[in-house]
Amino acid sequence: MLPSRPEAVAAGLMIPDRLVVTGGARLAGSVSVPGAKNAVLPMMAACLLTEETCRIRNVPLIEDVEIMAALLRRLGATVEFDRAERRLTITAADIRSVRPDPELVHEMRASFLVTGALLARFGQVECVHPGGCEIGIRPVNVDMNGFRAMGAEILVMDGAYVARAPKLQGSRIYLDYPSHTGTENLLMAACLAEGYTTIVHASREPEVLHLIRFLRSMGAEIRGEGTSVVEVKGRSNLWGASYRTMPDRLVAGTFAIAAAITGGEVELREVWPEHLEPIIYKLRDIGVEMDETNRSVVVHARNKLRATEVQSMPYPGFPTDKQAEMAALLTQAEGESVVVERVFEDRFRYAEGLRRMGADIDIGGARAVIRGPSRLRGIEVSSGNDLRSGAAMVVAGLAAEGETTILDARYVHRGYESLADDLIGLGASIRAEKFVAPRVQL
């Protein structure tokens, strides 16, 4: 029997592609933050480094996890996803392919993370250029140059990177940009390389540190986590491990900014406040009260908001993934704000939608100037084919008069398991419409 629509949605068989937000409600209450997308995806790839079974807990129920699971299965791994328990059990004992499915790789940037592990363990990998949210060129030269430095021979054939190295050799690798997934890919490769690898100018994003800790629990020997020089002593093999996924600082940031734009009071539970420092700092700067405890943050937006300057940068700078939502919030702040995007070249896709909603926003190169406060009105807007831009439109809709309809909202589902429901739980008025099948067979 076919499931009813609510059942299909609950089981992840259908995803809402349109969100209709009725603005004006003040958010209040408490919300718990799920495991982090950008932490669980590299851990899933790292399971390819061993033939033993790994278990990952606190897994978010999002589409990108399903895509990575499908990708691993098609390589030959056994992947059991207990969604009720939020637990993945992955065994990569019988890998039969070193060619990740191009269709799935086109769906998601993080899919490229399997290349380092496959190359290190099997001496070969063939992978097409990864796709993902449309936010810029997103090259993989950091990964490729690193593999080359470790002795791999790399060719580009029929649009695929073909890398071969019977045994990777530890090396000193300087990254000319501290690429987040690039660092993760090289770390995984280095774990099974011969000798020592030193990664200089490594990414220090919290999810990279989290991966290092997971790899260590698999037996890897890594030093320097949290600094930009990380040293890995290669080993001949790693073993299975069980690990809990860290909370999603980016989802937490969305709840904080959503609370702020509605003048609300919201408690974020199960967060690591230290990861939220750049966001907490900026929200305080514009007049939002932020109270931290060990594992929670209370956002209290009772004051008028003030304009500020925000520059997105690699961690511990302000996260690029919160830049769009922050811009939406700054449309409600008194004065002229400046938002500079220093990570991706195409992350102002939301600006046109905000402008049509009534925001006073001008873009010049990597710089947005926002004059506020503006009265926003609900209209039909696009997600910009970027999950963070889609989230920003939801945030703007919360402060707009009338209904804001976000089209292509399936992008939002890549990174938020229940953004609409969570916001409804805090008092927002949101309805989901036009349900579509997920991009991969679950």
Binding site for ligand EPU (CB under 6 A): 37-38, 41, 109-110, 133, 136-142, 177, 179-182, 205, 320-321, 343-344, 387-388, 415
Tell me the backbone φ, ψ of residue 97, rounded to 5 degrees. -145, 145
Give the SS3 label for residue 256: helix
Which class for 26: exposed (0-12), middle (13-18), buried (19 or more C-beta within 10 A)?
Answer: middle
C-beta of 333 vs 350, nearer to ligand EPU: 350
Distance CA(192)–CA(158), nearest Å, equals: 28
DSSP 10: H
Q: How far is the CB of 234 from ligand EPU (least distance, A)?
A: 22
Q: How far is the CB of 266 from ligand EPU (least distance, A)?
A: 22
C-beta of 91 vs 181, nearer to ligand EPU: 181
Strands in 78-82's sheet, in edge-to-edge order, are 78-82, 87-91, 53-57, 242-244
Distance CA(422)–CA(399), nearest Å, equals: 17
Give the SS3 label for residue 348: coil
Q: Which of the following is catalytic: 54, 127, 133, 191?
A: 133
> Is position 54 annotated as part of the catalytic site?
no
Q: How far is the CB of 44 from ligand EPU (least distance, A)?
A: 11
C-beta of 254 vs 374, nearer to ligand EPU: 254
Q: How far is the CB of 330 from ligand EPU (least distance, A)?
A: 19
Q: How far is the CB of 146 from ligand EPU (least distance, A)?
A: 9
C-beta of 207 vs 267, nearer to ligand EPU: 207
Residues 6+ away with beta carbon under 8 Å from 396: 261, 328, 331, 350, 353, 354, 357, 359, 376, 381, 404
C-beta of 18 vs 249, nearer to ligand EPU: 249
Distance CA(346)–CA(348), nearest Å, equals: 6
Q: Which residues are catalytic?
A: 133
